[in-house]
Amino acid sequence: MSEAPPTISAVDIYWRLLNYVKPYWLVFVVAIIAMLVFAGTETALAAMMKPLLDGSFVERDPHIIKLIPIAFIGLFIVRGIANFITVYGLGWIARNVIRNLRTEMFNKLIALPSRFFDKSTPGQLLAKLLYDVEQVANAATDAIITVIRDSLTIIGLLIWMIYLNGFLSLIILTTVPIIGFLVFKISSRFRRISKTIQQSMGDVSHISSEVIEGHREVKTFGSQEYEKKRFEKVNQQNRHQRMKMLATDAISQPIIQLITVLGLSLVIYLATLPEMLEKITPGSFISFVTAMFMILTPLKRLTKINAKIQRGIAAAQSIFSLLDEKDESDTGTKILDHCQGDIRYKDVSFSYNSTHDKTLDSVSFHAKPGQTIAFVGHSGSGKTTLVSLLARFYSFSEGQIEIDGININELTLSSLRNQIALVNQQVILFNDTIGNNISYGKKNVSNDQIIEAAKAAHAWGFIERLPDGLATTVGQNGVLLSGGQRQRIAIARALLSDAPILILDEATASLDTEAERHIQAAVETLMAQRTTLVIAHRLSTIEKADQIIVMHDGKIIESGTHQQLIAKNQHYAELHRLQFQEKPADTDLSKAT
Ligand SMILES: Nc1ncnc2c1ncn2[C@@H]1O[C@H](COP(=O)(O)OP(=O)(O)OP(=O)(O)O)[C@@H](O)[C@H]1O
Ligand SMILES: [Mg+2]
């Protein structure tokens, strides 16, 4: 995205994530209990050192000697079970949260307005859906295990140490604030870097996906070197940020450990002073030192987990910024069943960007039911924009568009769009069978209906010859079909949808005369009995239109029938003439429009 997403505070993020865990609270409680048990076994392990030395070896109590190995085995069985419950339980919650987040993000993507997609790249969005969600879950699980279990372990061991010797424990405790301060400093740095890493991950996937999708363009324009350089740059950036993270991580750990060891050494030194040795039994001393060393591992994990949590927060921020995007506004309440197809634009003005000039400037026209209105004009004059407003792909503030006399803003989006069949400039097919592509978005369609539509769209001829007929998969974006074939599939799709209004944004790509004839015939079938707004490049379509509207810089500069406009001998006549001068036999207006 071009704009930086609004930052959400870390506390808000924790709360929001916690909401996702709420439905699974029972499992969560069980996991926490298991963590408590685990921490208990750790403390018990250190505590057992005391009777082992004082009891079994020093006093040679036969009763205790027998009990110790059994206690050890028992302890490790309990510890193993507690560990399993923790890891499995939290993992189960995490996978559920991931699934829920993904569903929510996917639903969001479906509900977002066109404007959002104009400013985001698929790569960045995919990175959120695939990479960021996993990050969050991993961070959360690890963080919970470490923060709860390891802290509990540390607390348990500390209590044991204080019980054994308060003075020595106090010395250990003095190192804690120093470590705490360091961790705080390091964490803010981690968080900053994490954010950049996520962005650069998005760039990596964005550039790769462009090269994958545009592999033909890359080859024909010989832009391999350019793409390589572009990729190398973001790849390098990604590495650089990763290394920063790694360096911070690698430096911070030994420093924290060193501080801890300084404390430990001091304790050992003090404990071995003669006065101290008198007060402490060998069992207590060994047990104390054991506990001290056992604290090190969870403490190390506790300082390390921060990097992960920061990564998780950055990822969660990226996810929530998507989830917080506003849905397409759908405040209309009126429902249209099957409209007549009377379309009226009243002084409609629109711009994509408030800082830009108007893309459409006071456009008005009227299409009676069943009429065909053709739009012509130079590339960029606003034709596609004009028709896209009818389906409310963008909201406009000035002017009004009415269908059957009802302001389209008062209609629910679904009932408005149900009235419209759209054949776009760029045909998008889904990686599915031809049959499913034709019946796309329509429920309960029989095979016969699909075949009928395919026939009417002059598509049946080539579909029939395919190895699997309607069941043939078209490949991503219909790569296995020719441009003209794809258009006819799109026409069949529009025919089947049986909507009273047709928007036809003809592709400018020239086709061979055979395909051209087929498509022309298919288009004519499609336009019959529908109100059609057609952005036409084919002369035959235009000549038969009830009204031709000539656009220039977002304004209507001329309108009328073909004969009227030719007789008027102005803009349209000029466009017409230009084309025939250039290429007398060509019936494609696209060169001029
Ligand atoms: N999604 C968008 N965001 C911002 N500006 C846009 C967007 N789509 C189009 N524009 C701008 O609006 C203007 C009109 O574009 P539009 O696509 O409506 O032209 P057109 O008449 O359909 O052209 P063509 O014949 O080439 O299809 C252009 O200047 C274009 O740069
Ligand atoms: Mg266009």
Among 323, 355, 386, which residue terminates a domain? Answer: 323
CA-nearest of 78, 74, 84, 80 to 30 is 84
- CA neighbor of 501 nearest in space, from 332, 385, 370, 333: 370
| 25 & 129 share domain | yes
Report the 10 Å Cβ neighbour count for 467.
6
Q: Is 351 in the pocket of ligand 1 (CB under 6 A)?
A: no
Residues 91 and 60 in one domain: yes
Backbone angles phi and psi of 240, in degrees to 5: -60, -45
CATH of residue 548: 3.40.50.300
- Closest ligand (CA of 554): 1
Asked if 206 and 255 sit in the same domain, the reply is yes
Is residue 357 in contact with ligand 1, taking CB distance under 6 Å? Answer: no
537 lines ligand 1 (CB under 6 A): no
CA of 359 to the centre of ligand 1 (A): 8
Say how far residue 381 (Cα) sits from the centre of its chain. 33
Helices (runs of H) and strands (runs of E) counted in the chain: 23, 10
Token digits for 473? 């998969």
CB 140 within 8 A of CB 94: yes
Q: Please indicate, yes or no, whether residues 212 and 349 belong to a single structural domain of this protein.
A: no
Residues 546, 582 share a domain: yes
Same domain flag for 120 and 226: yes
| 24-33 own/partner pairs: CB under 8 Å, 24+ apart | 24/92, 24/93, 24/96, 24/97, 27/89, 27/92, 27/93, 28/89, 28/90, 28/93, 30/85, 30/89, 31/85, 31/86, 31/89, 31/90, 31/93, 31/144, 32/148
Sort strands 343-350 and 360-367 into parallel, antiparallel or unpaired.
antiparallel
> Residues 477, 428: contact at Cβ < 8 Å?
yes
CATH number for position 55: 1.20.1560.10
Number of domains in the chain: 2
14 and 106 in one domain?
yes
Q: Could you list the residue range(s) of the whole structural domain that residue 388 is in?
A: 343-369+377-415+536-593
Looking at residue 588, the DSSP 8-state letter turns out to be: B
Q: Are residues 351 and 261 in the same domain?
A: no
Ligand 1 atom 26, closest CA: 379
Ligand 2 midpoint to CA 558 (Å): 18
pLDDT tens by residue, the chain, 593 residues? 344 445 678 888 888 988 999 999 999 999 999 999 999 999 998 888 887 777 655 566 677 677 778 888 999 999 999 999 999 999 999 999 999 999 999 999 999 999 899 888 888 888 889 889 998 988 888 888 888 999 999 999 999 999 988 888 887 777 777 777 777 777 778 778 887 887 888 888 888 888 888 888 888 888 889 999 999 999 999 999 889 888 888 887 788 778 778 877 887 888 788 887 777 888 888 888 888 888 878 877 777 787 788 888 889 999 999 999 999 888 888 888 888 889 999 999 999 887 778 899 999 999 999 899 999 988 889 999 999 999 999 988 889 999 999 999 999 998 999 899 888 877 888 888 889 889 888 888 898 999 988 888 888 888 888 888 888 888 776 667 887 788 888 888 888 887 899 998 876 555 556 666 777 777 777 777 889 999 987 677 788 889 999 999 999 999 999 899 989 888 888 888 877 665 444 444 444 44
Nearest-atom number in ligand 1 for the CA of 590 is: 25
Indicate whether 276 and 157 sit together in one domain. yes
pTM attached to this predicted model: 0.76
Cβ–ligand 1 distance for 383 under 6 Å, the answer yes
